[in-house]
Amino acid sequence: MTRILYDTYNIVLPTGTGVATYARALIKTVSEMGYTPELIYDFHGPVPKDLRLAKSILFEDMEKLVPANTDIRQAIESATRLHNSGRTIKLPEESYLFEEPIRNRMTSVDTRYIAKYLYARAGHHFRTRKRFYPLRFDTPPDIAHFTFQLPVTVKKSANIYTIHDLVPLILPYATLENRRRTFRIFKEIAKKADHIVTVSEQSRNDIIRILGVEEDRVTNTYQAVALPPAAKNKKPDEVADEVSGIFGVQPNDYYLFYGAIEPKKNLRRLIEAYLSSRVKRPLVIVSSGGWQNKAEKQMIKDNPLRPDGSGIIPLGYLPYEFLISLIKGARAVLFPSLYEGFGLPALEAMALGTTVLTSKGSSLTEVAGDAAVMVNPVDIKSIRDGILQIDKDDRLVDELRQRGIGQADKFSQERYKERLKDLYAKLA
């Protein structure tokens, strides 16, 4: 049975990210395929003698562990700089963990390890020694699959890394990552990885072209849209009750954007295009975070819902079942990103039978195919015209809904499993 170790850099986050969604889906899929997934966690503070306690401590909020005015990285590095052993500790299967939200974030994996201050130590190790931080296991896994560009390696295992996109290099102003440091990590992955995984042909071509990686060392697995049947088959009257009763909007009578409010999502232009279109359906924005978004937040504040039905309805983080209802009930999901490694929101919306407006270029052209209204993401008039097209043409909306379902089938769980099987067969 092939053992595959995965990092938990993103999946422990309570509200998740696109990378967290990717990692959780990947781990769930390989479990279904008969592989043995294992997880490695970053652990802060002293390890309890009763290792069953460690599972609950893993999910303690960082702000509870370190004073708010203390730089977390500096605090951890100063405490651990002399002890970069890379030793891992295997946790018992049972635990004292009872909180259901946390249990859901843990994923259904039996074998888990911890490494003290893993990511801070790895970052310090890479900055000072220019090498990836080596993890040591009593019995190393067959494959170590890092779902993000982490400066970590596992001795005596095949090490593969998922690079979702090269946004920190292509659109450096759109990310908080240090461009120089990220480029060094990318180059080290390009040089040392046994294999590199990515999620679109656009990203694969960028990795080959910009990082100089040989073509046979980069595999595009795409992503899969694996919606729970209960969500995918939620009945129209149930959707109507939820979106009207909870959010005060009517089915097929609002537009939806969901995701982080950060530069590459292009929300400022989307809001400008929406307002200039003068459509009488509101724009619902679901977002729980982001960065470099002061202008966008002010625009949202300045344009609340109006009596004529236009305006913006801002919502924070939502439980998954409510977000599903909002997607299914929308006239269209608007997702005109400047650049995406994949663009899961567009695929999710199509799989749920919702019309999509998205961007020409990057991976979104691959994901959307001919099943969406495609716009120029840097041209506000193009985005506005796309919104007006959807707003006025019921026949087009219905046609794109049907096309979108067919397009989403190309990214089914079954096809994803085939691509993963081919990938791991090269390395196991």
Helices (H), 137-192: 167-170, 179-192
Provide the pLDDT confidence category of residue 115 given band limits of 50, 70 and 90: very high
Pairing mode, if any, of strands 111-116 and 89-90? antiparallel
Q: What phi and psi values does residue 40 have, to the nearest 5 degrees?
A: -115, 130
Q: What is the pLDDT at residue 104?
A: 55
Average pLDDT of span 186-196: 97
**Strands, DSSP E only, in 121-186?**
133-135, 143-146, 152-154, 158-162
| Residues contacting residue 119 through CB under 8 Å, at least 6 positions apart | 9, 42, 150, 152
Q: How confident is the model at residue 247 (pLDDT cuts 50, 70, 90)?
A: very high
Q: Which residue has the higher pLDDT, 397 or 69?
A: 397
218-220, strands of its sheet edge to edge: 89-90, 111-116, 36-43, 3-7, 143-146, 158-162, 195-198, 218-220
Over residues 327-335, the mean pLDDT reads: 98
**Sheet with 255-258: strands ordered across:** 312-315, 283-286, 255-258, 332-335, 355-359, 373-375
Ordered structural domains, the chain, with CATH? 3-224+413-425 (3.40.50.2000), 229-409 (3.40.50.2000)
